[in-house]
């Protein structure tokens, strides 16, 4: 049950950012509703979803925005399109300029199911993450690979820092 007034100990807000069509909306719908859409329309306006998770003995409600916002955290690229990976650096630079110093950022290389069209190696992502001192994961919203892990990694790190 993820209803709005469900009891929770903390409310975390997080945002997905990245170039268009890298899979942000589908990562969110996979995590929040276990849904995937092969021909999803570009996001218009603001969409968000809730999901409550347990960390230790606490219930944390994650409110995740599928748009640009003030607290930006899950930065997504499409491993089959190199330019979306190059954009990660631009997104990170913007985050560092406008974000708070204790901001948690997780880099995500989405569409790992499309291995045959890969233009970004796992090592590229890992190297950038190490350089920027953030974590990196490859996901597939389609095959539901690592989606849960990427969101939980982010939520757990926010928990460590703020609680």
State which residue, 62 or 77, has the beta carbon closest to ligand GDP: 77
Contact between 111 and ligand GDP by CB under 6 A: the answer reads yes
> What is the closest distance, in whole angstroms, from the C-beta atom of residue 17 to Mg ion in the complex?
11
Q: Rounded distance, CA 139 to CA 98, Å?
A: 27
List Cα–Cα distances, 159 to 91, 94, 101, 110, 128, in angstroms: 23, 23, 15, 24, 24
Per-residue binding letters, 17-36, with Mg ion (x by CB under 5 A): -------xx-----------
Number of chain positions touching ligand GDP (CB under 6 A): 20
| Residue of 38, 97, 100, 101 that binds ligand GDP (CB under 6 A) | 38
Whole-angstrom Cα Rg for the chain: 15
| Residue of 8, 21, 59, 122 that binds ligand GDP (CB under 6 A) | 21
Per-residue binding letters, 43-62, with ligand GDP (x by CB under 6 A): x-------------------
Q: Rounded distance, CA 94 to CA 147, Å?
A: 24
Q: CB nearest ligand GDP: which residue?
A: 23
Closest CA to 118 of 70, 80, 88, 76: 80
Task: Specify the 3-state DSSP secondary structure of 13.
Answer: strand
Q: Which residues contact 82 (CB under 8 A, 6 or more apart)?
A: 119, 120
Q: Residue 65 in contact with residue 48, Cβ under 8 Å? A: yes
State which residue, 27 or 53, has the beta carbon closest to ligand GDP: 27
State which residue, 10 or 50, has the beta carbon closest to Mg ion: 50
Contact positions vs ligand GDP (CB under 6 A)? 20-26, 37-40, 42-43, 110-111, 113-114, 140-142
């Amino acid at each position: 049950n993820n209803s709005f007034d469900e009891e929770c100990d903390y409310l975390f807000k997080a945002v997905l950012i990245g170039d268009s069509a890298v899979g942000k909306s589908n990562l969110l719908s996979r995590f929040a509703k276990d849904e995937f859409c092969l021909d999803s329309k570009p996001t218009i306006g603001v969409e968000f979803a809730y999901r409550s998770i347990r960390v230790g003995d606490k219930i944390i409600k994650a409110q995740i925005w599928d748009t640009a916002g003030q607290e930006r955290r899950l930065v997504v690229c499409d491993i089959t399109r190199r330019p979306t990976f190059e954009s990660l650096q631009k997104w990170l630079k913007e985050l560092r300029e406008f974000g708070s110093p204790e901001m948690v950022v997780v880099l995500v290389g989405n569409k790992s199911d499309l291995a045959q069209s890969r233009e970004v190696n796992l090592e590229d992502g890992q190297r950038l993450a190490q350089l920027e001192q953030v974590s990196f994961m490859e996901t597939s919203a389609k095959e539901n690979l690592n989606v849960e892990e990427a969101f939980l990694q982010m939520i757990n790190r926010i928990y460590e820092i703020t609680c």
